[in-house]
Amino acid sequence: MPKIPPCFCYRCYFEKTYPSCNLLCARALEDAICQAGSENVAAFIAEPVVGSALAACPAADGYFQVIREICDRYDLLFIADEVMTALGRTGVMWGIEHWNVTPDIIAMSKSLTAGYYPVAAVIGSNDLWETLRAANAHFRAGHTLNANVIGMAAAIETIKYILKHHLTDNAREVGAYFLGRLQELLAYRTVGDVRGKGMMVGFEFVMDKVTKAPFPPEREISRLFSELTFERGLVTYPCAGTVRGVAGDTILMAPPLITTRTQIDEIMAILHESMQAFEVAVERL
């Protein structure tokens, strides 16, 4: 399966700087299509905000507009993987909305029931469904638990709650506050980057802020930090692989959409306390 480098400005694969890069990472899609042969490529799939692989890294402005244009030019489907970003997580109902782009297919899951019940869904554009209908080739995804009544009821009630309590607005407003406060972590010598959108944020550890040199992967730095926060009552998600898929330690956080500013302040207090203990521990390794 052909892949292209991610839109990751902090560690640009092409060693360029946005916006003078002219979104070379997006335009690389056309090269990949031509090399594989457009007749052999059905679709392009990407997360609007990359989750565990890059710890809440949103694409640069304009990225998905270029992707959409290339997909249209070669008659390919554009699939938005919104398993982590759908239903308000990033401050809008669908993560891809930040780029004013409409995908052909949206894949979603966890957010449909807030993680309480296993439910997944595929949303297709009218054009997609009409193409299948016209060919008498209705989409079939039948399996034992398809359209499970309990799952459907849970999903409906979850969506109702999100809309009734304006949780998308809360994720946008409190998430912006959270991201702003996370900038404080850049004062620590081991934090190289802070990023995210809405209630999906993260930061990256480095040995050297200037060179962005990562810690050796065998030291499992992100796991160490996550253990420190857990000891203090905060669950964080340790990730790795931002450098060539091997090195590069990061922390991903996705608080509930109902989180308040007061609770963000509590989170930040734990993060600061954990960072202080972390930098002492790193020196001893």
Query: Looking at the chain, which residues constitute the CATH 3.40.640.10 domain(s)?
Result: 9-164
Per-residue pLDDT in tens (0 to 9) along the chain, 285 residues: 789 999 999 999 999 999 999 999 999 999 999 999 999 999 999 999 999 999 999 999 999 999 999 999 999 999 999 999 999 999 999 999 999 999 999 999 999 999 899 999 999 999 888 888 888 776 666 667 777 899 999 999 999 999 999 999 999 999 999 999 999 999 999 999 999 999 999 999 999 999 999 999 999 999 999 999 999 999 999 999 999 999 999 999 999 999 999 999 999 999 999 999 999 999 887
Give the CATH number of domain 167-284.
Answer: 3.90.1150.10
Other CB atoms within a 10 A radius of the CB of residue 123 amount to 15
Dig out the tokens for 245 from the structure.
């898929």
- Cα gap 242→232, rounded to integer Å: 27
Provide the CATH topology of domain 9-164.
Aspartate Aminotransferase; domain 2 (3.40.640)
| Per-residue buried b or exposed e for 131-156, using 16+ beta carbons within 10 Å of the residue's own CB | eeeeeeeeeeeeeeeeeeeebeebbe
Residue 257 near residue 167 (C-beta atoms within 8 A):
yes
- Cα gap 280→67, rounded to integer Å: 44
Instruction: Please tell me whether the overall predicted TM-score, pTM, comes out greater than 0.85 for this model.
Output: yes
Contacts of 157 (CB under 8 A, 6+ apart): none
> How many residues does the structure list for the chain?
285
Query: Looking at the chain, which residues constitute the CATH 3.90.1150.10 domain(s)?
Result: 167-284
Dig out the tokens for 201 from the structure.
């944020």
Other CB atoms within a 10 A radius of the CB of residue 115 amount to 12
